[in-house]
Amino acid sequence: MKLNEMANSSFVSDIKQILDQARQKAYSAINVAMVEAYWFVGKKIVEQEQQGQQRAGYGQSLIKELSKVLTLDFGKGFSETNIRSFRLFYLTFPEYLSIQQTLSAKLSWSHFQLIMRVSNLNARAYYLKEAADNGWSVRTLDRNISTLYYDRLLLSQKEEPVKDEMIEKTKKLQQDKFEFIKNPSVLEFLNLPANTGYTESELESALINNLQNFILELGKGFAFVEQQQLIRTETRDYFIDMVFYNYLLKCFVLIDLKTSRISHEDVGQMDMYVRMYDELKKSADDNPTLGIVLCTETDQDIARYSILKGNEQIFATKYKLFLPTEEELRTEIERGKLVLKLQFDK
């Protein structure tokens, strides 16, 4: 049997189905254990806080110290932000143990994180049930919460048009049935290294690798920190293309690469990254974080850099002194695109 014939045969289809089901079972087991563990951690924190409630700031210092200990013993996944989420999980769903049999295998930790931010109790219960019953992906749930789907249903005289519109607009969001494999929470829970490959297209990932080496060779004082660095807030995960530290400027430099024309959304996103980085990552000894958006198809490749706390003029001067120039970066992007094109055309 030839390869193309085998790929379309019922024999191979049956084997694929077996493996698909095995993956789903494996994920369900991991997911149930992970969500349950986070709930119990949150419960322990609340109980410990109640014992020391007369001490000012006890809860905050407790979470800070707990984060340090757990990170040493278990690796990533136990930042102060995450631990506050565990605490909130217990406070939001104190009855979790009574509903876990019907929900845990169907809803991931990311689902619960989204539903926790819904303040309306009726809406929260609705999203919980609908997401589990209908197999909503995390992206579908996120869209429905963000567009006030529950509220719009209540206000509508006819629910069907609203439901039909939602199903139509979330079709693409439901296509990736193994999106859980890409969930950083699962990887962190199992203490496995994050797979960065899924977060970027082949072209973009290759360009990032080229630029990383280029900046380290040409830039003054740059040290590479991480590619596709995960930044987690209490509501969702974000990935920054490249993170450097410049020991001459004494600050982090975030670089986001776009393979399309720059937009105001790109600039706003980088501004948000910079603010999050200053709050969650930089130390008191570091200067404000710099953010740079690099674009491959625009009149101005360096679209915007964000400088916080009123130091724009001072850091703009240093930025131009120690970072490769716009022309140098533009030339390197075009060179990288040409090399990749030649490789793909072979």
Q: What is the pLDDT of residues 36-66, one digit of tens each?
A: 999 999 999 998 888 766 555 667 788 888 9
**Residue 191 included in any domain:** no
Owning domain of residue 128: 106-185
**Residue 302 included in any domain:** yes
Q: How confident is the model at residue 330 (pLDDT cuts 50, 70, 90)?
A: low
Nearest to 183 by CA among 25, 20, 34: 34
| Nearest-angstrom CA–CA distance, 211 and 296 | 12
- Chosen domain end from 102, 124, 149: 102
Nearest to 211 by CA among 303, 345, 335: 335
Nearest to 179 by CA among 108, 95, 130, 230: 108
Task: Look up residue 115 and give its two tokens.
Answer: 């539903």
For position 220, what pLDDT does the model report?
73
Asked whether residue 15 falls in the same domain as residue 113, the answer is no
Cβ atoms of 203 and 257 closer than 8 Å: no
Cβ atoms of 235 and 117 closer than 8 Å: yes
Task: Look up residue 335 and give its two tokens.
Answer: 């060179």
Cβ atoms of 140 and 173 closer than 8 Å: yes
% pLDDT > 70, the chain: 66
Higher pLDDT, 219 or 271: 271
Sign for the CA dihedral angle at 57, 58, 62, 63 comes to: negative
The number of folded domains in the chain is 3
Asked whether residue 45 falls in the same domain as residue 114, the answer is no
- Chosen domain end from 57, 78, 102: 102
- Chosen domain end from 83, 102, 121: 102
Asked whether residue 308 falls in the same domain as residue 207, the answer is yes
Asked whether residue 88 falls in the same domain as residue 110, the answer is no
| Nearest-angstrom CA–CA distance, 19 and 5 | 20
**Residue 23 included in any domain:** yes
**Residue 14 included in any domain:** yes
Asked whether residue 202 falls in the same domain as residue 334, the answer is yes
Task: Look up residue 147 and give its two tokens.
Answer: 């567009």
pLDDT tens for 210-232 read 666 666 665 677 888 888 888 88
pLDDT tens for 86-115 read 999 999 998 888 777 767 667 888 889 889
% pLDDT > 90, the chain: 11
| Nearest-angstrom CA–CA distance, 42 and 127 | 22
What's the whole-model pTM score?
Answer: 0.59
| Nearest-angstrom CA–CA distance, 305 and 299 | 16
